[in-house]
């Protein structure tokens, strides 16, 4: 059978089939409803729904200060990120040590670029989200919202982005202007794709 | 015309001739996993020389001539219910310093599939131990009906299988700066191809009913880092799927057991492993992995490219490659892999004179979109020093760039998405090494 005939036949068959049947047969599931799975309850969702967006959506109640943050940092963060937030390289530490959190402003357009929270991160809320989900490395998820707000206040103040007296909470944190907020642009490589095949 | 016979009976004289012409085989050229000449001879005598002989002569009887242990016993099966490779096979992944990644031995690969046990790994906080009976995928956010699915639930949906490469966005980062990596594995081993089976996101999103205005989906894993990424919903509806199987069995723990997101052609990191949650929203979530990491700083401007998900066309000669030694001048089949996250590979060109002239390699069918493609090129090495390179072009017309082009246009910054042409030098003594060429 020639390929033209095959295509014509396929088109005829497809035209004769209701779309849902075709979808089911090809496994594309276009709009088909299946009775599998169970509704996710409010409690199911709340247990995991901890992400935080730049506009502050997802930030929990609570607040934190530089002073409290300094203490928590010393106890739980300094061993990997350094007493002065300068970063540590040590093969004996998880991931070979933690990156520097401050410094590096003005280096991004040089061969000795240094990407830190201070010099590179575009959103303060990302810091809250990331510490909440992934830090400290050996006990991720163990920090309470007040502790995370405090750590964020400490790191941002050490990076000279906020003042030591500023309290961080769901209202103040999204308003923090990060130095490199406008340092990013969308993928502009050749042949930007809208369709992916 | 008469059909040619398939195979033919092998005489003792044939075997002797084969043994006398025995030289170091390809295995012998590799730095690791050498096979001794003695065992190769036994192999040739036993079964290597094929079909007709193997069918006529009991294998055991032939091996007994050498006084070897019996090669097989009637009725014996593999000792384990889950098979393993031959004990003499030593090809292995290579763990990085710090133990957060392990590289695929590309130089030992043939064909297009990476064995599951050799698929590269990269983790941000270890491999979680997950009970598949307890694991759930929750889909919520801007949906009509939030749902949760067990592994068994997922398996009841219409499924698809696709052969897809996954390449870590940071693959070849070291190679972008120097030629200090000895082997193809060390330089480029964070890419692998598997057949993945699962359920299309379009199917799953149809179940929960996506609300108007939804544009992004947060994908979250259940590892220690609870790794999370934002994915545009059009990619999700186009060709994304939630996989529960890899190469015909459950996904390996280090690759996302019991389920992982597959976004064909996109950087490895966004193919979230140990997937537990998909949250539909109207804006990107700006997670750490799409702001402070996996963005491409251009040191010539100080600005960074963001949301650069697609892995662009790239290729690599895997044979001969770094740290091998060719035993002498003569015929070699140059072989390697090419891939593109945008479109099927259109062609691969080979140079054996450092880029002065290029010739087309043949592509092994099937040439699948967003999968490794195997290329081959016959080469008669005349014994002189040669720089060999491969260059891939995909069906969009995009041509794999040179290292110097990338350095000129992007600076030295981008830690991710390096896809420059790889050069290997074959020295007059046959040794192959990693070099910078131009």
Per CATH, the architecture of A45-175 is what?
Orthogonal Bundle (1.10)
**Mean pLDDT value across residues B69-77:** 64
pLDDT of residue B319: 98
pLDDT for B25 beyond 80: no
Joined tokens for residue B210: 């996506």
- Segment 347-386 of chain B within 8 Å of chain A by CB: 369
pLDDT band at A20 (very low <50, low <70, confident <90, very high): very low
User: Which CATH number does B95-301 carry?
Assistant: 3.90.420.10
pLDDT of residue B120: 98
Q: A115 — contact with chain B (CB < 8 Å)?
A: yes
**Mean pLDDT value across residues B209-229:** 97
pLDDT of residue B37: 38
**Residue B107: CA atoms inside 13 Å, Cβ hemisphere, count?**
30
* Beta-strand relationship, A38-39 and B147-149: antiparallel
Tokens 């047969």: give the residue: A25
**Mean pLDDT value across residues A1-27:** 45
pLDDT digit string (tens) for A119-156? 999 999 999 999 999 999 999 999 999 999 999 999 99
- The residue among A25, A37, A48, A109 with the most chain B CBs within 10 A of its CB, best to mutate, is A37
Question: How large is the angle between the packed helices A145-158 and A124-134, nearest 10 degrees?
Answer: 130
pLDDT for A193 beyond 90: no
Helix H or strand E encompassing B216: strand B216-221
- To the nearest whole angstrom, how far is the Cα of B144 from the nearest Cα of chain A? 11
What is the rounded radius of gyration, in angstroms, for the C-alpha atoms of chain A?
A: 25
Q: Are B188 and B316 in contact (CB under 8 A)?
A: yes
Virtual CA dihedral for A139, A144, A150, A153, nearest 10 degrees? 80
Question: How large is the angle between the packed helices A145-158 and A66-76, nearest 10 degrees?
Answer: 100
Q: Which residues of A touch B145 (CB under 8 A)?
A: 39
pLDDT for A9 beyond 60: no
Q: A48 — contact with chain B (CB < 8 Å)?
A: yes
Mean residue pLDDT of chain B comes to 87
**Mean pLDDT value across residues B10-34:** 54
pLDDT of residue B412: 75
Residue environment code for B273-300, b if the CB has 16+ CB neighbours within 10 A, otherwise e: bbbbbbbbbeebbbbbbbbbbbbbbbbb
Q: Measured between CB atoms, which of A34, A184, A195 is closest to B157?
A: A34
Q: B173 — contact with chain A (CB < 8 Å)?
A: no
Give the whole-angstrom CA distance, residue A104 versus residue A100: 9
Joined tokens for residue A187: 């993928």
pLDDT of residue B96: 84
pLDDT for B48 beyond 70: no
Q: Which residues of A touch B154 (CB under 8 A)?
A: 36
Q: Which residues of B touch A55 (CB under 8 A)?
A: 283
Percent of residues, chain B, with pLDDT higher than 90: 75
pLDDT of residue B24: 45
Q: Which residues of A touch B413 (CB under 8 A)?
A: 108, 113
Sequence-distant (6+) residues with CB within 8 A of B407 are none
pLDDT of residue B74: 66
Joined tokens for residue B6: 């398939």
Q: Are B268 and B167 in contact (CB under 8 A)?
A: yes
**Residue A181: CA atoms inside 13 Å, Cβ hemisphere, count?**
11
A16 CB neighbour count, 10 Å cutoff: 9
B412/A120 Cβ within 8 A: no
**Mean pLDDT value across residues B84-91:** 95
- CATH 1.10.760.10 maps onto chain A at 45-175
Beta bridge pairs of residue B379: B332
pLDDT digit string (tens) for A84-101? 999 999 988 888 899 999
pLDDT digit string (tens) for A40-74? 999 999 999 999 999 999 999 999 999 999 999 99
Q: B110 — contact with chain A (CB < 8 Å)?
A: no
Tokens 């169970």: give the residue: A38
Domain spanning B314-435: CATH 2.60.40.650: yes
pLDDT digit string (tens) for B92-124? 999 987 778 999 999 999 999 999 999 999 999
- To the nearest whole angstrom, how far is the Cα of B103 from the nearest Cα of chain A? 16
Q: Which residues of B touch A185 (CB under 8 A)?
A: 303-306
Joined tokens for residue A28: 């594309």
DSSP tag of B112: S
Q: B232 — contact with chain A (CB < 8 Å)?
A: no
- CATH 3.90.420.10 maps onto chain B at 95-301
pLDDT for B50 beyond 60: no
Q: Which residues of B touch A181 (CB under 8 A)?
A: none
pLDDT for A17 beyond 60: no
Q: Which of B11, B75, B77, B67 minimizes the C-alpha distance to B42?
A: B67
Q: Are B319 and B289 in contact (CB under 8 A)?
A: no
B157/A54 Cβ within 8 A: no
Q: Measured between CB atoms, which of B140, B147, B239 is closest to A196?
A: B239
Q: How deeply is B10 buried, as exposed, middle or buried, from its count of CB atoms within 10 A (0-12, 13-18, 19+)?
A: middle
Q: How deeply is A5 buried, as exposed, middle or buried, from its count of CB atoms within 10 A (0-12, 13-18, 19+)?
A: exposed
pLDDT band at B420 (very low <50, low <70, confident <90, very high): very high
- The residue among B138, B150, B370, B416 with the most chain A CBs within 10 A of its CB, best to mutate, is B138
pLDDT digit string (tens) for B171-208? 999 888 889 999 999 999 999 999 999 999 999 999 99
pLDDT for B19 beyond 90: no
Q: B129 — contact with chain A (CB < 8 Å)?
A: no
Give the whole-angstrom CA distance, residue B30 versus residue A136: 43
Q: Are B96 and B103 in contact (CB under 8 A)?
A: yes
pLDDT of residue B379: 98
pLDDT of residue B49: 38
Q: Which residues of A touch B238 (CB under 8 A)?
A: 195-197
Question: Residue A34's Cα: distance from chain center in Å?
Answer: 32
**Mean pLDDT value across residues B148-164:** 98
Give the whole-angstrom CA distance, residue B328 versus residue B330: 6
pLDDT of residue A2: 47
pLDDT of residue A25: 42
pLDDT for B35 beyond 80: no
- To the nearest whole angstrom, how far is the Cα of B184 from the nearest Cα of chain A? 24
Q: Would you say how long chain B is, in residues?
A: 438
Q: B305 — contact with chain A (CB < 8 Å)?
A: yes
B397 CB neighbour count, 10 Å cutoff: 11
* Beta-strand relationship, B275-281 and B137-141: parallel
pLDDT for A19 beyond 50: no
- To the nearest whole angstrom, how far is the Cα of A28 from the nearest Cα of chain B? 7
Question: Residue A95's Cα: distance from chain center in Å?
Answer: 19
pLDDT for A172 beyond 90: yes
Residue of B nearest to A117 (CA): B292
DSSP codes joined into one string, B33-53: S---HHHHHHHIIIIIT-HHH
The size of the A-B interface in CB pairs under 8 A is: 192
ipTM of the complex: 0.84
pLDDT digit string (tens) for B258-293? 999 999 999 999 999 999 999 999 999 999 999 999
């Amino acid at each position: 059978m020639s390929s033209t005939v095959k295509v014509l036949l396929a088109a005829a068959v497809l035209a004769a089939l209701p779309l849902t049947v075709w979808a089911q047969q090809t496994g594309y599931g276009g709009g088909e409803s299946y009775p599998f799975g169970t509704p996710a309850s409010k409690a199911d969702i709340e247990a995991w729904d901890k992400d935080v967006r730049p506009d502050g959506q997802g930030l929990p109640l609570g607040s934190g200060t530089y002073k409290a943050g300094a203490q928590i940092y010393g106890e739980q963060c300094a061993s990997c990120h350094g007493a002065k937030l300068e970063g540590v390289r040590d093969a004996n530490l998880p991931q070979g040590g933690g990156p520097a959190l401050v410094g590096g402003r003005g280096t991004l357009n040089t061969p000795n670029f240094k990407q830190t929270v201070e010099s590179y991160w575009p959103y303060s809320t990302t810091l809250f989200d990331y510490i909440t989900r992934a830090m400290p490395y050996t006990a991720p998820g163990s920090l309470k919202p007040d502790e995370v707000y405090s750590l964020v206040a400490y790191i941002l103040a050490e990076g000279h982005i906020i003042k030591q007296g500023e309290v961080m909470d769901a209202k103040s944190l999204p308003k923090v202007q990060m130095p490199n907020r406008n340092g990013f642009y969308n993928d502009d490589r050749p042949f930007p794709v809208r369709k992916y095949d | 015309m008469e059909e040619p016979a398939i195979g033919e009976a092998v005489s003792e004289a044939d075997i002797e001739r084969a043994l006398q012409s025995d030289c170091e085989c390809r295995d012998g050229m590799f730095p690791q996993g050498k096979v001794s000449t003695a065992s190769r001879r036994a192999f040739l005598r036993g079964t290597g020389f094929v079909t007709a002989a193997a069918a006529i002569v009991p294998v055991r009887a032939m091996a007994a001539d050498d006084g070897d242990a019996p090669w097989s016993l009637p009725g014996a099966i593999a000792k384990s219910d889950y098979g393993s490779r031959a004990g003499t096979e030593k090809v292995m992944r290579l763990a990085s310093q710090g133990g957060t990644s392990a590289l695929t031995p590309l130089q030992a690969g043939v064909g297009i599939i990476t064995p599951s046990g050799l698929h590269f790994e990269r983790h941000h906080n270890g491999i979680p131990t997950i009970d598949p009976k307890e694991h759930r995928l929750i889909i919520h956010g801007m949906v009509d009906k939030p749902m949760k699915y067990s592994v068994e639930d997922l398996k009841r949906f219409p499924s698809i299988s696709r052969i897809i490469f996954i390449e870590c966005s940071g693959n070849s980062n070291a190679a972008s700066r120097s030629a200090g990596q000895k082997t193809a594995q060390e330089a480029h081993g964070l890419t692998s191809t598997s057949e993945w089976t699962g359920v299309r996101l379009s199917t799953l999103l149809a179940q929960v009913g996506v609300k108007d205005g939804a544009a992004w989906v947060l994908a979250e894993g259940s590892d220690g880092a609870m790794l999370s990424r934002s994915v545009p919903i059009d990619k999700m509806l186009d060709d994304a799927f939630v996989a529960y199987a890899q190469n015909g069995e459950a996904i390996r723990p280090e690759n996302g057991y019991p389920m992982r997101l597959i976004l064909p052609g996109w950087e490895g990191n966004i193919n979230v492993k140990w997937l537990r949650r998909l949250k539909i929203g109207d804006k990107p979530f700006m997670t750490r992995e799409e702001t402070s990491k996996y963005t491409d700083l251009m040191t010539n401007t100080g600005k960074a490219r963001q949301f650069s998900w697609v892995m662009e066309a790239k290729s690599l000669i895997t044979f001969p490659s770094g740290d091998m030694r060719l035993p002498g001048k003569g015929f070699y089949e140059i072989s390697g892999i090419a891939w593109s996250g945008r479109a099927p590979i259109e062609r691969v060109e080979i140079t054996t004179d450092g880029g002065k002239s290029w010739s087309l390699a043949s592509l092994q069918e099937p040439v699948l979109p967003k999968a490794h493609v195997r290329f081959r090129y016959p080469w008669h090495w005349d014994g002189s020093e040669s720089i060999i390179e491969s260059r891939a072009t995909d069906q969009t017309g995009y041509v794999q760039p040179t290292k110097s082009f990338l350095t000129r246009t992007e600076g030295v910054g981008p830690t991710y998405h390096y896809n420059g042409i790889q050069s290997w030098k074959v020295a007059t003594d046959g040794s192959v090494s990693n070099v910078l060429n131009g």
